[in-house]
Homo-oligomer: A and B are copies of this chain.
Amino acid sequence: MATIQDVAKAAGVSAMTVSNVINDHPNVRKATREKVLEAMARLDYRVNVAARNLRKGRTGTIGLAVPEVNSPYYGRLAVAIIAAAERYSLRVCIEQTGASRENELDALSLSRNRLYDGLILSTVGMGPADVELLKVDYPVVILGERIFGGPVDHVAMPNVDASRAATRHLVERGCRRIAIVRGPVGEEVDVSSLRFTGYRQALRDAGLPVDPALVQSVETLTMRSGARRAREMVDGGLDFDGVFCVTDTVAMGVLRGLADAGVPVPERVKVIGFDNVEESEFLVPALSTIDPDHDVMAQRAVDLLARRIEQTEPGSDHEEFVSDFSVVIRESTGG
């Protein structure tokens, strides 16, 4: 494997000149540049990224830590972030945390190991109690709900407002017994709890009671859980005419479960999700949902991170960004 020294020797110049050619520095005579390029081609030279990283103290790679790669929502997010990072010539390495607090902390320490120049962390396992652990000396952007006002930049969804709008939409379509399918109830601020708050607000706005029987909490926000729970709701004789699902993924399961139970959507029950994943549009019935503008969120997260990476001194002003949203109306709420 040829090194920069080999190329220098072959081209009859110094290693520094080769380095200057590689990095497109000015102040290299055209003839010299060509001589070097020719030698590089002849020796099939490749920069050794490890050496460059060590020398520069930078890797040109950012980490993206998400609960799971194989989910319509995080998959879509990852794509948007990769696209946004490209503008800064940053590579993105995806870490899968499985929503565990421990793995999220692991991802944090990998950046500390100089593997990444910075980290975009989608917190699900870590909670507000872990805020202190985010006080790290390298760039981090939190993408998610659980930690607000921490010592880091933060990009979030308009969870409460959008959920309120989603639920209001069901009310406007005539629903009066609106269920919510949410994740586990905990003490902490997570996606489910914030979206539940929006749901309650909308019911209150409409003068409807919050019936505990209509609050359905599933263990995991998966298609399987959603399908099972929807069947149980129908089989158990629960009276409901609308369902707000806190994610599209769980909504896909709910649609399936209602189909199993022979409940027509939207005729007897209307369903709305949250996320506007790619699949939503193609389900039968097509799923109404909230579109939180993933691309803007992704771009924003990368912008914030890149800014931190570029600035040398720590800088202590931490930004909070909350994206816009829109209600996407499709067949599952009557078109």
Contact = CB atoms under 8 A, between A and B. Distances in A.
A114 B79 CA distance: 25
A115 B54 contact: no
A39 B15 CA distance: 39
A146 interface: no
A48 B256 CA distance: 49
Interface stretch (A123-131, A203-211, A276-284): A276-284
Contact of A75 (B61, B75, B282): B75
Nearest to A82: B96
Interface residues of A, number: 47
A207 to B, nearest CB: 34
A69 B94 CA distance: 10
A115 B46 CA distance: 11
A157 interface: no
Contacts of A223: 278-279, 281-282
A252 B69 contact: no
B70 A76 contact: yes
A255 B278 contact: no
Contacts of A133: none
Interface in A272-299: 278-279, 281-284, 286
A247 to B, nearest CB: 13
A6 interface: no
A68 interface: yes
A46 B136 CA distance: 13
6 contacts: A48-B114, A50-B59, A69-B82, A93-B94, A223-B279, A223-B282
Shortest 7 CB-CB contacts between residues of A and residues of B: A70-B75, A50-B53, A50-B54, A256-B282, A93-B93, A70-B79, A223-B282
